[in-house]
Amino acid sequence: MNLPPATRLNKVGGWRLFLKTVLARAYPRIIGQQRETSWLIFDVVFPVISVAAYVFIYRAIKAPEQFVGFAVMGGAMTAFWLNILWSMSSQLYWEKEQGNLALYVMAPTPLTAILLGMALGGMVATALRALGITILGSFLFNVQYSVQSYGQLFGVFLLTMVALYGMGMMNASLFLLLSREAWHLSNLAQEPIYLVSGFYFPVRSLGFWVAAAASIVPLTLGMDAMRQLVFAGGATLGFVSVPVEIGVLVLLCIIFLAGARFLLAYMERLAVREGRLTESRR
């Protein structure tokens, strides 16, 4: 049937569909953050309390003053790690439990765009919490900053976020395939990463090989590089040089984004071929 021009639907495809999907999925997380302002208070105050414990210990043992700044930065970056665990890696599992995953699989848009939109929205909301923790912690504990290069600092932060959210998108498929064990994996991964990634202390204190193994988590090298660039004398406490860490972060970005694309495509094919959503396979 021929419809008049005014009633014809304009189909969107290709990169325009991808971009519209990203913006559509980012919108609820950004707006939701504004509607639940009480969450922002709790997400800022509670991490600062944890940071205060480390600050008091460092000052009691007369550790270098840079360690106080390390703890404040680590407290701010925990917001991103928790967002990856609970709002990215576990996302497809929760969507499946709520009955939305089938709609995502059937939608004429790639799952990569859907998760990328969630990542973008979550990154903006989490950045506000991290900024609040940094400002409050710096004010309370009189943290002094000495930025060596704003360009490198911005580049390191951007690479860290791309690699970290790429890892979250890749883990979303893995957690979905593991089904109910996703909850346990999220709980299991939370505290150990705080330790081995050096959230509250220089990661080089763990030794070269432990720090190198922990570098699979982008926050490990990202925080170490940012500390070297932000604090006076931070380079003396760094794991490796900033250029080396930037190179590794670029490599992690490529690996995690490629892995996310492959695993999401595999999960879609599995769901379509079997006619149902995946469960644990033993």
Q: What is the pLDDT of residues 75-124, one digit of tens each?
A: 888 888 888 877 777 777 777 777 777 778 777 888 788 888 888 888 88
Q: How confident is the model at residue 276 (pLDDT cuts 50, 70, 90)?
A: low
Mean pLDDT, the chain, integer = 82
Radius of gyration of the chain (CA): 21
Check the CA dihedral 224-209-64-135 and report its sign: positive
How far is Cα 232 from Cα 215, in angstroms, rounded to an integer?
23
State the pLDDT at residue 278. Answer: 45
How large a percentage of the chain has pLDDT more than 90? Answer: 20
With 0-12 CB in 10 A as exposed, 13-18 as middle and 19+ as buried, what is 259? middle
How far is Cα 28 from Cα 121, in angstroms, rounded to an integer?
8
State the pLDDT at residue 282. Answer: 42
> Which structure tokens are listed for 271?
């769901």
Lowest mean pLDDT: which of 46-50, 67-71, 183-187, 248-252?
Answer: 183-187
Q: How confident is the model at residue 281 (pLDDT cuts 50, 70, 90)?
A: very low
Q: Are 145 and 234 in contact (CB under 8 A)?
A: no
Is 13 strand, coil or helix? coil
Residue 269 above 90 pLDDT?
no
How large a percentage of the chain has pLDDT more than 70? Answer: 87
Summarised one tens digit per residue, pLDDT across range 199-236 is 888 998 888 899 999 999 999 999 999 999 998 888 88
Q: How confident is the model at residue 186 (pLDDT cuts 50, 70, 90)?
A: confident
Angle at 28 between CA 11 and CA 44, to 5 degrees: 155
How far is Cα 260 from Cα 271, in angstroms, rounded to an integer?
16
The closest of 58, 75, 76 to 67, measured between CA atoms, is 58
Of 199-208, 248-257, 271-280, give the range with the top mean pLDDT.
248-257
State the pLDDT at residue 4. Answer: 54
3-state secondary structure 205-250: HHCHHHHHHHCCCHHHHHHHHHHHHHCCCHHHHCCCCHHHHHHHHH
- Those residues whose C-beta lies under 8 Å from the C-beta of residue 34, and which sit 6 or more positions away, are none
Tell me the mean pLDDT in the region 141-164. 90
Q: Are 168 and 88 in contact (CB under 8 A)?
A: yes
Q: Are 230 and 147 in contact (CB under 8 A)?
A: yes
| Angle, in degrees to the nearest 10, between helices 181-196 and 66-84 | 170
State the pLDDT at residue 279. Answer: 47
Residue 264 above 50 pLDDT?
yes
State the pLDDT at residue 280. Answer: 42
Residue 247 above 80 pLDDT?
yes
Q: What are phi and psi of 275, to 5 degrees?
A: 75, 15
DSSP state at residue 3: P
Residue 71 above 60 pLDDT?
yes
Q: 3-state DSSP: the chain helix, strand, coil percent, rounded to 5?
A: 80, 0, 20
